[in-house]
Amino acid sequence: MLLMRQERSTIDDRLAAARTRIRRLTPEQAAAAQADGAAIVDTRDSADRRAEGVIPGSLPITRNTLEWRADPAAECPDPRVSDFSRDIVVVCNDGYASSLAADSLRELGHATAADVIGGYRAWKAAGLPTEADRDATR
């Protein structure tokens, strides 16, 4: 059996393509979206959230489980992010993985999925509100 050789794309190619299909928000725009009811989904791991803090009101949903929580047809959807009428803004450390995650959510049906340019670190550098990770104390 012959296997057909698939053309290779680099991660930079995939990232650039994803960013043409999603909305990218500045930290200030993301804060305004959150104030208007958007869910800020923090896909960073717990160690980063503990070390650096979190955006108040953000939802900690790891990148490993994001699609299962955001798909209403999945076995265990999260109603806070599986409603297609709610805007979702994804944040990671620096704004790279969040672009790929937002594009994946768009493919699932979240047409307005967005990410934060520069990620959590840009949010914090912009002087927007942060707090200690509320899950870190458990």
pLDDT at 3: 72
Higher pLDDT, 62 or 138: 62
Query: Could you tell me if residue 4 is inside a domain?
Result: no
Structural domain of residue 93, as residue ranges?
12-125
Let me know if residue 60 belongs to a domain: yes
| Per-residue pLDDT, 2 | 66
Residue 40 belongs to domain with CATH number: 3.40.250.10
Whether the pLDDT of residue 7 is over 80: the answer is yes
pLDDT, tens digit, 9 for 90 and up, residues 86-136: 999 999 999 999 999 999 999 999 999 999 999 999 999 999 999 999 775
Number of domains the chain contains: 1
Q: Is residue 138 part of a domain?
A: no
* Single-letter code of the amino acid located at 114: A
> What is the rounded distance in angstroms from the CA atom of residue 107 to the CA atom of residue 109?
5
Q: Residue 137: what pLDDT?
A: 47
Q: At what angle do helices 11-21 and 97-108 cross, to 10 degrees?
A: 50
55: in domain: yes
- What pTM did the predictor assign? 0.91
